[in-house]
Amino acid sequence: MSSGTIKVIVAEIKYESPTVKSFKLIAANGSSLPGFSGGSHLTTYIQSEFGLIERHYSLTNDPDTKEYYKIAIRRSDQSKGGSIFWHDHIKVGDQLEISYPRNHFSLSFKAKHHVFIAAGIGITPFLAMSAELKKKGKSFELHYAAPTKELCAFYSYLSSTYPEEANFYFSKEGRRMTTDVMKHKPIGTHVYFCGTEAMVREYQEAAKSYGYPEKSIHFELFTPPSSGPKHAFQVKLRQSDQMIDVPEGESLLETLLKHGIPAPHSCKIGGCGSCQVDVLDGEVDHRDLFLSDNERKEINVILTCVSRAKSGCLVLDL
């Protein structure tokens, strides 16, 4: 790891639901941890027998707390190693490295009212965001969908801490959350949603249809978009005059980093725009949820973590 990481120790592990565990991390040297704002995430780096496991998790504790960080992870049977390793192998006392907090899902303090909409483990960023708004006396409401009350992580905490703001929807108990929760809100309301790609797309389109301006719509994915096969293609790097093959199944960002190209990046799931690179020639198969339709028409760029060439070769300003 680089000097841009922090060594931490796992101080506490707690079941928040049958499939979700929270992990309390403290600085290995006993110092206080850097501050963060609601909506921030960090990257965790774990050395395993399968190599380095690098994952991004939202910070769930009160942003004013400097003694520890908390993250929550849902165990997924479709995991590529991250959540299963955390659930099955990480124990109290283990040491690992983390990044400094970053925020691509920050609160808008221009908003007069905030509407948080979470599906499943998408609740995690809203825990810190709610704590921040409550302390500041700001107006907000939380809508949280889960299959059942038992599978609803943080249910007891949220229902007791935010009795007026928190609303729960348990699909297996006959109450489903719909996009109607965004209707009939006061002017100046901002909406925020976190969940699967399908959920984010549905709520994003609905918010636009209800008249929310684009700057009032915020979202975060917890999985990369799935937009078809990852076919092979080529890129030419103008600044270094290199020609690079991007193999089938691998992202352009992964290939650039493997070749030692210092390509910018952060979230790696097409949600933050950090990896945006100018395209000088070629047609892009856009697979992100970050760029608007107008931006895709007006500027020729690619988000290297998820998007690909439609065919042939792309010429990049790298």
Co-location of 128 and 168 in the same domain: yes
Distance in angstroms (rounded) separating the CA atoms of residues 218 and 116: 10
CATH number, domain at 308?
3.10.20.30
Domain span at 298: 233-316
pLDDT for 196 beyond 60: yes
Arithmetic mean of pLDDT, 122-143: 97
* Better-scored residue on pLDDT, 203 or 80: 203
Decide: 242 and 262 in contact? Cβ < 8 Å. Answer: no
Of 6-20, 156-170, 222-236, 271-285, the least confident: 222-236
CB atoms within 10 A of CB 178: 13
Examine residue 226 and state whether it is found in any structural domain, yes or no: no
Within 13 Å of residue 119, how many CA atoms lie on the same side as its CB? 21
Co-location of 128 and 94 in the same domain: no
CB atoms within 10 A of CB 90: 17
Decide: 307 and 284 in contact? Cβ < 8 Å. Answer: yes
CATH number, domain at 50?
2.40.30.10
Examine residue 196 and state whether it is found in any structural domain, yes or no: yes
Distance in angstroms (rounded) separating the CA atoms of residues 80 and 50: 11
Co-location of 130 and 189 in the same domain: yes
CATH number, domain at 160?
3.40.50.80
**Which residues, including other chains, have CB under 8 Å from residue 164's CB and lie 6 or more apart?**
none
Arithmetic mean of pLDDT, 252-280: 87
Domain count of the fold of the chain:
3
**Structural tokens at position 226:** 């799935």
Secondary structure of the chain in the HEC alphabet? CCCCEEEEEEEEEEEEECCEEEEEEEECCCCCCCCCCCCCEEEEEEEECCEEEEEEEECCCCCCCCCCEEEEEECCCCCCCHHHHHHHHCCCCCEEEEECCECCCCCCCCCCEEEEEEEHHHHHHHHHHHHHHHHHCCCEEEEEEECCCCCCCCHHHHHHHCCCCEEEEEHHHCCCCCHHHHCCCCCCEEEEEEECHHHHHHHHHHHHHCCCCHHHEEEEECCCCCCCCCCCEEEEECCCCEEEEECCCCCHHHHHHHCCCCCCCCCCCCCCCCCEEEEEECCEECCCCCCCHHHHHHCCEEECCCCEECCCEEEECC
Co-location of 274 and 201 in the same domain: no
pLDDT bin (cut points 50, 70, 90) of residue 160 is very high
> Residues, the chain, total?
318
Measuring CA to CA, which residue among 139, 221, 207, 215 is closest to residue 179? Answer: 207
pLDDT digits (tens, 9 = 90+) for 100-128: 999 989 999 899 999 999 999 999 999 99
Co-location of 17 and 39 in the same domain: yes
Decide: 206 and 181 in contact? Cβ < 8 Å. Answer: no
Among 51, 67, 99, the domain boundary falls at 99
Decide: 116 and 192 in contact? Cβ < 8 Å. Answer: yes
Co-location of 133 and 194 in the same domain: yes
Arithmetic mean of pLDDT, 207-225: 89
Arithmetic mean of pLDDT, 39-57: 89
Of 223-227, 250-254, 262-266, the least confident: 223-227
pLDDT bin (cut points 50, 70, 90) of residue 1 is very low
Co-location of 127 and 93 in the same domain: no
**Which residues, including other chains, have CB under 8 Å from residue 196's CB and lie 6 or more apart?**
119, 120, 122, 221, 222, 223
pLDDT digits (tens, 9 = 90+) for 24-42: 999 999 999 999 999 999 9
Examine residue 107 and state whether it is found in any structural domain, yes or no: no
Examine residue 227 and state whether it is found in any structural domain, yes or no: no
When mean pLDDT is compared over 194-198, 272-276, 313-317, the highest value belongs to: 313-317
Examine residue 144 and state whether it is found in any structural domain, yes or no: yes
Examine residue 208 and state whether it is found in any structural domain, yes or no: yes
Task: Please report the pLDDT score of residue 161 as a whole number.
Answer: 98
Among 174, 199, 220, the domain boundary falls at 220
pLDDT for 3 beyond 60: no
CB atoms within 10 A of CB 192: 26
Co-location of 63 and 38 in the same domain: yes
Co-location of 41 and 63 in the same domain: yes
Co-location of 117 and 213 in the same domain: yes
Alpha carbon separation from 149 to 73, 124, 125, 163, 173 (Å, rounded): 18, 16, 20, 15, 9
Co-location of 148 and 209 in the same domain: yes
Examine residue 225 and state whether it is found in any structural domain, yes or no: no
Examine residue 9 and state whether it is found in any structural domain, yes or no: yes
Task: Please report the pLDDT score of residue 79 as a whole number.
Answer: 63
Among 69, 99, 129, the domain boundary falls at 99
Co-location of 66 and 158 in the same domain: no
Decide: 103 and 41 in contact? Cβ < 8 Å. Answer: yes
